[in-house]
Structure 1
């Protein structure tokens, strides 16, 4: 019996080693979150257009307490050439999957399918205290939501009887078979849904050690069903370590109030959410990003912070210069 378990263990180690060496090339993208609230709407559009001109191939936009991400993406897609656009992430508790499918199909058609969709269940506090809704069984809610959503996106109809949703509907619109859906998945149950039904996960406040030990093995447990790991990370290239480190701790400290993120912070072995920010010179940042690449991350969503906002709008940004210089180097 001992011999059997020893052989099984060795095969598992060999399998995980094979998966490790099959990890994909790291893609560098820009993420525009709620930290860009100082930028006016059309200044923001011009900034996004300038990012494409600078050479960035992908931009993700938050659906936080600001402009609607899908509407913004829809308009922006008419102003750019070929840059991919993503939402990270649309909270599902305030949506119905049929309604969201209609919005996505419309936006996807206008954007010529340059669209990626990130979905999340948000957090209990935000859903119940801010929206006045019930935050009940988020894993099952997301599973049924994604099944219905993908039915409509891929087939134009859905007939589904579940514990939460019961739908029997078809829509008269062009379907979109090749649109990528991602989930904000951190725990094993949500990662299981991401693995089975979507392209992968989008993480936030999650370090490379946790991704390597907890997320990559679950999401890519078989070599024939590989899934992407898109990781949003705060970053500032600077020589003023004391000031920017203090600013990172101040900006991101409230993420300690969200249990899902708090768990990731503890698992990473850091004391503060701000400790997950990449703060330092170009060599230091490159080495940390290499760790993310080694952990299985396929795309970095760079959250540029702690720089003068007016300089950043005009692309006078040391951080952006660094990010564009390292694209395709991992």
Structure 2
């Protein structure tokens, strides 16, 4: 597939600074954090030299709408939506949103999708069943609609028969969330990239990379990249970093996927979160500016081609974020 090869080669040939993005999560988790504040933060990141931004689809605000507004107020920054829960909208509806965005900001969007978890889907009254099967069917509709402008699909869970009246075609890379081996294998089969979250870099090298290659080989295609997600704290105060990083992690501890992931990575959590310090040491890139830069360069020089950073503020969020932006723009 020509598109798949171009997506992978594009990532491989970019300079390091163009393979690092910063995640903005406040939209979904902080009460009172306005849409305009998210847009202003995206604009400020572009001004600081950041090449791409990540925003999840969480909470009650539609991220694609925010991206559309931000695209009209920026010139070049790339937008990564990761992830849209696939059970909350039909793939044709999502395709319509993607086509509209691409008409406003061509080539600046990458779309991430995934099954999310039962806790979040409960607010929709949705019961998750066979998530990887559902994901494959979702992609079986979404990709051909975007790449060819038409689809005829009959699956167990999803159905679609649709043709664009103006034969509009867009080239938007499609990424899927992945934590376990089977999910990475599925990404190798059907996706343009895999999006793990809270997966230690060692786990990505030892487990995820072989799995994604296996899936790709089964379809005789080039293995897509794994985009490492890392927490970054610009501080040499280790206890303070641990304390603040735990705040980023704690909301995921009751989601069964993540304890299973940590155990598979050789970093299990025991009673009363025993083993948490070791886990956080594996998840957080921390230290002085020079130490953080060295660690980011080391990851980007490995077979993990790209990084999605979640900033962990320790003392002065604004100052530390500005320092992080300087590090990234100078890579």
- Range class of TM-score, shorter chain: 0.7 to 0.9
Q: TM-score, normalised by structure 1?
A: 0.83
CA–CA separation in structure 1 for the residues paired with 2:251 and 2:148: 41
Q: Scaled by the length of structure 2, what TM-score is found?
A: 0.83
2:322 counterpart residue number: 317
Secondary structure of the residue aligned to 1:117 is strand
Aligned to 2:21: 29
Aligned partner of residue 158 in structure 1, secondary structure? strand
Instruction: Choose the corresponding residue for 1:52, options 35, 40, 46.
Output: 46
Size of the aligned set, in residue pairs, is 302
**Residues 32 and 61 in structure 1, CA contact (< 8 A), matched pair in contact too:** yes
Measured after TM superposition, the shift of residue 255 of structure 1 is: 1.6
Alignment map for 1:151-190 (pairs within 5 Å): 151-173=144-166, 175-190=168-183
Are residues 111 and 177 of structure 1, via their aligned partners in 2, closer, same or farther at CA, if it must alter by over 3 Å?
Answer: closer
CA distance in 2, matches of 1:25, 1:81: 19
The answer on 1:251 being equivalent to 2:284 is no
Kept in 1, the 8 Å contact 2:146–2:170? The answer is: yes
Correspondence 1:159-308 to 2 at 5 A: 159-173=152-166, 175-221=168-214, 222=217, 225-270=222-267, 271-272=275-276, 274-275=280-281, 276-293=283-300, 295-307=302-314
Instruction: Identify which of 68, 74, 78 aligns with 2:68.
Output: 74
Measured in 2, the distance between the counterparts of 1:25 and 1:226 equals 20
Q: Contact (CA 8 Å) 1:29, 1:57: kept in 2 or not? A: yes
Structure 1 unaligned blocks of 5 or more: 1-21
Which structure 2 segments of 5+ residues have no match?
1-11, 268-274
How far the C-alpha of 1:185 sits from its partner, in A, is 1.6
User: How far did 1:39 drift?
Assistant: 4.1
Alignment check: 8 A CA contact 2:49 2:325 kept: no
The DSSP-based 3-state class of the residue aligned with 1:303 is strand
Report the 3-state secondary structure (helix = DSSP H, G, I; strand = E; otherwise coil) of the residue aligned with 1:317: helix
Identify the range of structure 1 (39-48 vs 287-296) with the bigger mean alpha-carbon deviation.
287-296
Equivalent residues of 2:201, 2:228 under 8 A apart:
no
Alignment RMSD (CA, Å):
2.5
Select the structure with the greater relative contact order (CA < 8 A; seq sep ≥ 6). Answer: 1
How far is 1:224 from its partner?
5.4
Quote how far apart the aligned CAs of 1:202 are. 0.7
Once the two structures are superposed, residues 173-228 of structure 1 have per-residue CA deviations (whole angstroms, 9 ceiling, x without a partner) of: 55334210000022233223322222110111001110001111121345951311
User: What's the offset of the Cα at 1:306?
Assistant: 1.8
Distance 2:42 2:230 in 1: 18
| Structure of greater Rg | 1
What is the CA–CA distance in structure 1 between the aligned matches of 2:51 and 2:167, rounded to whole Å?
Answer: 26
Deviation at residue 66 of structure 1 after TM alignment = 4.4
The runs of at least 4 aligned residues of structure 1 exceeding 6 Å deviation read 22-25
Q: Give the Cα separation in 2 of the matches to 1:99 and 1:63.
A: 15
Conservation of the 8 A alpha-carbon contact between 2:240 and 2:314:
no
Do the aligned partners of 2:115 and 2:131 also contact (CA within 8 Å) in 1?
Answer: yes
- Tell me if structure 1 keeps the 8 A contact 2:193–2:226: yes
